[in-house]
Chain A
Amino acid sequence: MSNTVAAASRPEPDNNYLTAGYGLKSWLLTTDHKRIAILYLIMISVFFVIGGLFAVLIRLELLTPAGDLVSSDTYNKLFTLHGLVMIFFFLIPSIPAVMGNFLIPLMIGARDLAFPRINLLSWYVFAIGGMTTFAVVLFGGVDTGWTFYTPYSSTYSKTAVGLTAIGVFITGFSSILTGLNFVVTIHKMRAPGLTWFRLPLFVWAHYATSLIMLIGTPVVAITILLVFLERVFGVGIFDPALGGDPVLFQHLFWFYSHPAVYIMILPSMGVISEVVACFSRKRIFGYGFVAFSSLAIAVLGFLIWGHHMFTSGQSIFAGMVFSILTMLVAIPSAVKVFNWTATMYKGSISYETPMIYVFGFLGLFTVGGLTGLFLGALGLDVHVHDTYFVVAHFHYIMVGGAIMGYLAALHFWWPKITGKLYSEAWAKLSAIIIFIGFNLTFFPQFLVGYLGMPRRYHVYPDEFQIFQVLSTAGASILAIGYAFPAFYLTWSLFRGKAAPANPWNAKGLEWTVPSPPPKHNFDTIPVVEEEAYDYSRLEEEVV
């Protein structure tokens, strides 16, 4: 490679991060960002399966209008745990803690993150938070919804809210530590010559994400802690009986939890930028606009929390301010979609699995983003707020957008992470199944939502059944689609062909080191002399 000193194909297959130590201790006490990424990968995969099982039960229950499979209490616990697990234990850590952890140091030419021990600590904090929340299931579950609205959560619920609150509070610190590590790493650890505007957009996206983690997470942590204090010690800051205002909780909660949506989607957008450039062999169209739109989303994301509360009794004026800002945040997202599309113009496009996921992402995220406009428009939101329309919208963003991006990333960097190639045929098949299953699951929910079916309903009027049946049918297809990768990816670990250093002919420093990368990433820190995605200078390599 012209841009680096590091040799691309160093013949040291036995000296990679995976073979640098074998005992359990060498994993559980590792400070290597790559191993910590693997630890996270295992953890969040388990949580994804658990969260998915809750979803399966929810979908089965909703097949019929009557509550015949589970009781109302159980149903309420199911959707609460589904939301909690998927959001706090899968989506928020998914791309940052796995892919970001693994790739950021490699992409910026560093030997590790700035604070490797804090990185390990964040995994342990995450594990403890996860176990605490898991213990909640053993203590009978929790039924407040993942939103913990007071005064239901603080006074009325009879379930293990306190323990859940502590679990979420602890997990928050894992997120803060990861974000802190990324911000400092991106600022201080870049290789010589790697200026801000030569950074891969994946890194920009993670920088924006990390800012949200740093600034937003402490607010939700203290808010959830206040709910805990109110519940356990009667410190009633949101208690209407003391003159407390339960709506204040909503403000504090959404101050984090709206930007949290961007914690989930921004990293995914970063992945899309990398993949679309690689498989179009083109520089990202409008690099600067895509980079700054990430920051714009992060900043605007903090100013629009009130759009979750248009019917909560906040003033009409506040509603208008939040609505206008919500419309503004749609613009940087639109800018990104247009730039990715334009990147393909006059490119050299090939259809490997990661690119198939990008096509899926573009379709689903566009629908998710556009339906956000329905919810941002005040008078219309009053009708669709807290209905299945919202459920469909955020699943299109968080599953259609974030998980599609996560799967694109997993397939794109799998050869780098594991050193193995997976089966393209199976991978493409599962991508298509996921796309079809997803749309069948969630598109009917837009319709039933506009018809007026409220979310979090265990039993519902008969006329909504047809949509729920379609949705459940789609969910079963989706489940099959998600199960496939578990098999062919695992299979590739044992039977897959060895991956070369750069199987996709991609640009970026992570592809200049062997697959899997050596323990300390780079023998000599590379010097960067070119812009990101300079595919015109791609050299022919032996694949």
Chain B
Amino acid sequence: MLSNIQILPEVASTMAGKVDALYFFITAVSVFFFLLVMLLVTFFAIRFRRRSEDERPKPIHGSLKLELLWTVIPFILGMAMFGWGAVLYFDMFTPPAEGMNVYVVGKQWMWKIQHPEGNREINELHVPVGTPVKLIMTSEDVIHSFFVPAFRMKMDVLPGRYTTAWFEATKPGKYHLFCAEYCGTKHSQMTGSVYAMEPVDYQDWLARESAATLSMAQAGEQLYNQLGCGTCHAQEGDPRGPSLYGLHGRAVELLTGNAITADDSYIRESILLPAAKLVAGYGPLMPTYKGQVNEEELLRLVAYIKSLNLDTEDSTSEPRGGKELEEQRNE
């Protein structure tokens, strides 16, 4: 029975093996130092045990050499662990450019997931193996944390902003999805499963599930029209509001003179809090849409605005101001 006990979680992502390697390294260092201290303590305790009450051992004040030795060696090892850990951390939170996006909304106590193709799932996430999957996550209420042990991946999901994480599954299978940040009564039941599938199976799954649904961008477009966003944000621009075509990922010059990259969070904030970061040349005319769109709908709007980039890619006109600002930022 004991042989059945697992002590390592499954290795099912590109990152998992790398994290395990660091784990083994630190474990080895720890075991070495633990045994060293324990053996010395045991040896001294026996070798120098008190044999008579009259013993008055000669005082030893210390040794600078030894102090330096046991300062420098832990320092070097500590820096090695830091460096190794930092490289992994950097990789974990720097998603590769290619790959797919998945949108996650956490709420007490469930995970709501949308695929760009329009598929929606609750407490389940289907992904293909071999493709980097970038998660764009937010919370409707308290802080949650998206944790898949088999992928060695975890990221807090915060209300009021987007956080991102990515993974690339390597092995088909069903894996635990946990909420790792305490979020109230049913925190321990805010769990689910991640299904990593062969790409063909994933395509099948997508087709099977999304036959009747709109893609996220299409759903976002519907909402966009419903809310009348296009009235002011016309494709060719409008005195009332800037064009949203080619906006995503571009540097935007703000009224304050600063430049900001129009990422998911900026778009989200601009819908909910239009006056916070006004684009240069436009007045604070836009009303807030807080309360009119929920987090999932916001993600669809973001997906739609993102999709406007693809449409403009083949158009000849460079997005306004983009080039110059990009250059300014590079200086």
Contact = CB atoms under 8 A, between A and B. Distances in A.
Do A and B touch (CB < 8 Å)? Answer: yes
A282 B185 contact: no
A425 interface: no
Interface stretch (A264-272, A337-345, A427-435, A477-485): A337-345
Contacts of B87: 379
Interface stretch (A224-232, A316-324, A514-522): A316-324
Given A313-B161, A345-B48, A366-B34, A460 B81 contact: no
B23 A450 contact: yes
Contacts, number: 294
A373 B26 contact: yes
Nearest to A341: B40
Interface string A240-265: 11010111000000000000000000
Nearest to A466: B5
Contacts of A328: 75, 78
B257 interface: no
> Interface size bucket, A side?
35 or more
A286 B154 CA distance: 42
B182 A145 contact: yes
Contacts of A282: 57, 59-60
Contacts of A19: none
Contact of A454 (B84, B147, B159, B160): B147
A337 B40 CA distance: 11
A386 B81 contact: no
Interface stretch (B66-74, B197-205, B237-245): B66-74
Nearest to A332: B71
Contact of A536 (B59, B142, B150, B185): B59
A73 B187 CA distance: 10
B82 A377 contact: yes
Nearest to A377: B85
A357 interface: no
B44 A327 contact: no
Interface residues of B, number: 91
Interface string A370-390: 110110111111110111000
A313 B158 contact: yes
Interface string A265-297: 000000000000000111101111100000000
Given A346-B60, A447-B7, A377 B81 contact: yes
Contact of A463 (B6, B142, B163): B6
Interface in B259-312: 273, 276
A312 B37 contact: no
Interface stretch (A48-56, A151-159, A170-178): A151-159
Nearest to B181: A386
B74 A287 contact: no
A344 B183 contact: no
Contact of A76 (B18, B19, B44, B185): B185
A454 B179 contact: yes
A149 to B, nearest CB: 6
A143 interface: yes
Contacts of B9: 450-452
A379 B61 contact: no
Interface in B71-95: 71, 74-75, 78-79, 81-82, 84-94
A327 B80 CA distance: 10
Interface in B125-176: 141-143, 145, 147, 149-150, 152-156, 158-161, 163, 176
A45 interface: no
A57 interface: no
Contacts of A383: 19, 149, 152-154
Contacts of B93: 316
A215 interface: no
Interface stretch (A29-37, A116-124, A181-189, A347-355): A347-355
Interface string B8-43: 110000000011001100110110011001101100
B258 interface: no
Nearest to B272: A243
Contact of A350 (B50, B54, B188, B191): B50
Contact of B60 (A283, A319, A450): A283
A206 interface: no
A312 B60 contact: no
Contact of B33 (A319, A370, A457): A370
A310 B158 CA distance: 14
A461 interface: yes
Contact of B188 (A331, A334, A456): A456
Contact of A452 (B51, B74, B176, B186): B176
B84 A535 contact: no
A245 B41 CA distance: 49
Given A152-B143, A382-B89, A385-B180, A330 B78 contact: yes
Given A324-B82, A377-B84, A310 B89 contact: yes
A459 interface: yes
Contacts of A337: 37
A347 B48 contact: yes
Q: Which 7 interchain pairs have the tightest Cβ spacing?
A: A379-B88, A452-B149, A377-B85, A240-B160, A378-B89, A327-B78, A286-B62
Interface of B: 5-9, 18-19, 22-23, 26-27, 29-30, 33-34, 37-38, 40-41, 44-45, 48-51, 53-63, 66-67, 70-71, 74-75, 78-79, 81-82, 84-94, 108, 141-143, 145, 147, 149-150, 152-156, 158-161, 163, 176, 178-189, 191, 273, 276
29 contacts: A281-B56, A282-B57, A285-B61, A285-B63, A311-B156, A312-B158, A316-B93, A334-B33, A334-B71, A338-B37, A339-B67, A341-B37, A342-B63, A342-B66, A347-B57, A349-B45, A351-B45, A351-B49, A374-B30, A379-B88, A380-B88, A382-B89, A383-B152, A383-B153, A451-B8, A452-B147, A460-B188, A461-B176, A536-B56
